Each structure stands twice: as C-alpha cells, then as structure tokens.
Chain A
Amino acid sequence: MKSSVTTSPVRTETPAALKPKRSRDYGRLWTIGPVVVWMGVLFLLPLLLVLAVSFFSRSTFGGIEPPLTANNYIRFFDPLYYKILWVSCVLAFTTTILCLFLGYPFAYVVARAPVHLRNLLLLLIIVPFWTNSLIRTYAWIVLLRTEGVINTVLKALGLIAEPLPMLYNEFAVLTGLVYTMLPFMVLPLYASIEKLDKAYLEAAADLGATSWQTFWRVTVPLTAPGIMAGSLLVFIPSLGLFFIPDLMGGSKAVLIGNLIKNQFLTARDWPFGSAASIILMALTLLFIGGYLAVTKDKEGKGLT
C-alpha cells in the first residue's frame, strides 16, 4: 500500500517530467494530484509515523528516543493490557450481536413497509445516524443517572424507594454503545433486505418451506452481505469510542480506546500508545480483510 502510492506517477515525477504533451495529462494532474498529496501527507505519513514511533522508547520527559525496540509490543501482551483488548473485543462483540438482533427484524419491517411510508421511515433512521454520538450518549446519562428521569419517574410512582444505580457500570456502557451504533447496523441491513427479490421467498413457500425455514435458508443467506457489513460497521467503531466508557462507565471500564487515549494524553507514553494503536489497526484490517474475502465485495462497497 505504501510503496504503490509513492511510486504513482503523480508524486514521483519531477515537474519537468510532468510537462504534459496533451491536455489530458493536465486533467489528471489537477484532479488526482491534490488528493494524493493531501491524503499522502496528512493521512498516510502520520500513520507511518505512528508505526515508527511504536518501535522507539519513551524518554524521561514523555518524548521518544532511541534505541529501537519491540518492547512496546511485548509489553502489550502483559496480562494487564491484553485483557483490556480482550474485554474491549467482548464488549464490541456483544454490542454487535445486540444491534444485529434488535436491528434485523426492525430493518425487515421497514424494508417491507408500504412504499409511501418507506422514505419517511428511512429518514427517521438516518437522522440519528447523522446526529452527534456524544449528544446521544449524554441523552442516556440524563435518563439513567441517580437524579435522572427514570429514577425520578419510578420514585414518583412509588415503585422504588432508593434510586437504582443504572449509570457507571457495564450495563450503562453497553446501552450507550448499542444506542449509538444501532443505526450503523440497520442501514446496511435495510439496503440488503430491500434488494431481496420476493420471488425467492414465494418460491420457497411454494416448494413447501415453512416461513421459519424460508427465513433461515433463503432470507438470511441472501442478506448475509448486509449482516456482515453492518456487523463490521458496529464492531470496529465500538472498539475506539472512548467517550462512552469515559462518561457512562465511570472509572470501571477501561477499553482499548481509553488505553490509547490515556497513553497519549495522561501517561505520555507515546511509543506504547502507538503500539496499542497499531495493534488495534491490525486487528481492524484483519476483520476487514476477512469481510472482503468472505463477501467478495472487492471494492468494499457495503462499508461506505
């Protein structure tokens, strides 16, 4: 990936060599040039820098210094740290499964709704998809906290004497994650269910399948690309959303996103934070690679 970008003609040829013979070359230069330069300098280069930093050592004042070492990666496999990664993956996976089970029937109903309603129903899913996830997290804090709306209502109804401790635990973090990520699951599911040709379902029914069999053996396999795209779109961001555990989990929930954040901002151990980021990214790419291989969605269309 790195080498092929830097060897693309736009970047490596000298200005003299770029002097076009035809205006078509100018067109290429002016359309592709800016994006290659911008993303090369501000996306690729910083990423390579993090990769480099992850092999340095931390200096006394929180900077980086030689010698080059693999210690940061070795340190990550200390139980203290890889457990964080493990817990994060379990939480992200639980979030994904919950989103899938909540989202699939929902997407199904919306995709099968009468046409005149469908655009409105879809818009109602897109709005939360676009709204600020921090604000959506905050909305749950308003609901769940000790003096929050739910406790106040339950108390007023005389159902509880003492407020329920609903915030600052794993349940709260999971609620926040599912709530934030659900639209990311529903939209790809909706797209794949809407495309599903009803004739297949009718054919299955005509051939004697029960609706349960039809669902598991026709609907699910045909909508598998949506299931996988949605799962990936929920799983990956869930690993990095540090502000949900920060705000809803209290001090109990330290996830990989929080670990990276703390290494950069509090502990000021950039090499270790970089190593953790590279591990997180490698894990992400592994999942995406798996997705691309399984679905044969070569351009990653389902994910964008």
Chain B
Amino acid sequence: MRLSFAGRLGAVYAALIYLFLYLPIAILILYSFNKSKLNAVWTGFTVDWYLKLFHNSDVLEAMNTTLIVAAVSTLASTMIGTLAAVGMYRYHFRGKTALDAMLYLPIVIPEIVMGISMLAFFAQLKIPLGYLTLIAAHITFSVPFVVVVVKARLAGFDKSIEEAAMDLGATPWQTFVKVTLPVIAPGVIASALLAFTLSVDDVIISFFVAGPTSPTLPLKIFSMVKFGVSPEINALSTLMLMVTLLIVVIAERIRLRKS
C-alpha cells in the first residue's frame, strides 16, 4: 500500500510514540538478564536474578499477600458490582442518581484521597492494618469499575427477555442465573480481570492501608527502589509485567469476541 507524504509522516510519528511507550519497558526487561549488578554495562546473560527472587522470603511473602488480596477482592467486587449493575439496569428506585454518583466518585477523585480516608477510618475503628484492610480497600476501589464494565455489557441487552422469563414464572434469581448471567458473562469475566489487575498493580491506596507487616508486591518494589536500582527489581518488575500482559490479552480477546 502506498502512503501519502502526510500518511508516512504520521506513521513515523506513531512509531516514535510507540517507541517512547515501549523502549523503557523493553530495556527494563533486558537488564533483568544482565550479569552486572552495579551499572548499565552489559556483561553477559543470566537468569540468576530470577532465581534469587525465588529465594527471597520477603518477596515470596509479598507475592503471597498480593495473590490472596487480589483473589478475594476480585471475587467479592465482581459479585457486588455485577449484582449492582443488574439491579440498576433492572429496577427503578429512589436514590438511583445518588448511587450513580457514589459509584462514579471513586473512579474520578485522586486515589490518595481514598487511601487516606480509609486509613483514617480503620484507625478510628482500631482495625489493625493488614490483609483485612487491604482486601476491604481493594474491593472498594474495584466495585465501581466492575459496575461500569458490566453495565456497558448490559446496555445492549433486551430487557423483554428477562420480563418474558419472569412472566413464565421464573423467580428473579432464576431469571438472573439462567437468562441474564449467560448474556453478560463476557462482561463479568472482563470486569473480574480488570479488578484483578487493579488489585495486583495498586500502589497508592495499598500504601496507606497495608501496614508495615503485609506489603504487597508493588509496595515491596517501592521500598526496594528507594534503596536503589537493582537487577532483582528488574526481574520482579518483568514478572509483574508478564502477568499484566497475559491478563490484558485475555481480556481483549473476550472484548473483541463480543463485538
């Protein structure tokens, strides 16, 4: 295909931006395989940093915390959010606009405000910071995103199918499980994947509610970076990038299949 001059210029520009977006990440990954610990001179290929990571008990514990928190909060937020999206789609009730606003706010206000407000809340109730507070916080910031994603999926859903099921004697629960859920399943799965990534990657809110004894992986990386750059951080970052990449590709496949 022949491109005009402007078209070629555009293509070059886009390529440069992609380079800007990906080059730092590519270099980070590359240097996780570099033998040299101290500087950026390439001294040979090694997977030692990855092996070291799996012998670092702090990192393994952080990994454990991250996965438990992500699994529980994904499950809970997907349930709460999906039910909410279905309810808001199906019913009219007083205070619906207010509920919309309450679900919209957490998405748009700076994360730090949510982080410190939950810290203050847990401190006032004398709830010790740890798994429990992390999970509660992660559910809270994930629910609005789940609602948005599932609602988008419901937007193309014909209400009369639900009504038909109920007219034929199905209870709302039966209607939900046998009629609504199969239709919105791709949206629910996509929202769960989103909730999982949000949880695994969260820095700011976790920073305030994790407490000193249960850092998640991003918090572990944060404290490691404060002590300086090391190939181990590169290796850990690479692993986290791979997990995210995998999830995004799965989520995109689901999204594209629906349309």
Say whether, besides A50-B120, A182-B21, A281-B110, A132 and B10 are in contact (CB < 8 Å). Answer: no
Closest residue of chain B to A233 (Cβ to Cβ) is B108
- 5 CB < 8 A contacts A-B: A31-B90, A35-B81, A39-B102, A124-B18, A143-B24
B117 CB contacts on chain A under 8 angstroms: 43, 46-47, 49-50, 277
A26 CB contacts on chain B under 8 angstroms: 172
Q: A-B contact count, CB below 8 Å?
A: 282
State the CA gap A219–B79 with chains docked (Å): 41
Contact of B80 among A38, A106, A243, A264 (CB under 8 A): A38
Q: Mark B1-34, 1 if CB is under 8 A from A, else 0.
A: 1000000001101100110111011011001000
State the CA gap A40–B102 with chains docked (Å): 8
Say whether, besides A1-B102, A32-B99, A27 and B28 are in contact (CB < 8 Å). Answer: no
B215 CB contacts on chain A under 8 angstroms: none
| Chain B interface, >50% SS class | helix
Closest residue of chain A to B245 (Cβ to Cβ) is A127
A152 touches B40 (CB 8 A): yes
| Size of interface on A: residues with Cβ below 8 Å to B | 97
Contact of B248 among A130, A147, A182, A240 (CB under 8 A): A130
B139 touches A135 (CB 8 A): no
Residues from 101 to 124 in B contacting A, C-beta threshold 8 Å:
101-114, 116-121, 124
B252 CB contacts on chain A under 8 angstroms: 123, 126
A14 at the interface (CB under 8 A from B): no
B21 touches A132 (CB 8 A): no
| Size of interface on B: residues with Cβ below 8 Å to A | 94
Stretch of A5-13, A71-79, A192-200 lying at the B interface: A5-13
B residues touching A (Cβ–Cβ < 8 Å)?
1, 10-11, 13-14, 17-18, 20-22, 24-25, 27-28, 31, 38-41, 79-81, 83-84, 86-88, 90-91, 93-95, 97-114, 116-121, 124, 136-137, 139-140, 143-144, 147-148, 171-173, 176, 197, 200-201, 203-204, 207-208, 218, 221-222, 225-226, 229, 233-234, 237, 240-241, 244-245, 247-249, 252, 256
Contact of B95 among A4, A241, A242, A280 (CB under 8 A): A4
A residues touching B (Cβ–Cβ < 8 Å)?
1, 4-5, 7-10, 23-24, 26-28, 30-32, 34-36, 38-40, 42-47, 49-50, 53, 102, 105-106, 108-110, 112-114, 119, 121, 123-128, 130-136, 138-143, 145, 147-149, 151-153, 179, 182-183, 232, 236-237, 239-243, 246-247, 257, 260-261, 264, 270, 273-274, 277, 280-281, 284-285, 288, 299-300, 303-304
- In the complex, given contacts A4-B98, A31-B84, what are 6 additional A-B residue pairs having Cβ atoms less than 8 angstroms apart? A35-B80, A132-B201, A132-B218, A132-B240, A143-B27, A237-B111
B95 touches A277 (CB 8 A): no
Contact of A39 among B28, B137, B143, B201 (CB under 8 A): B143
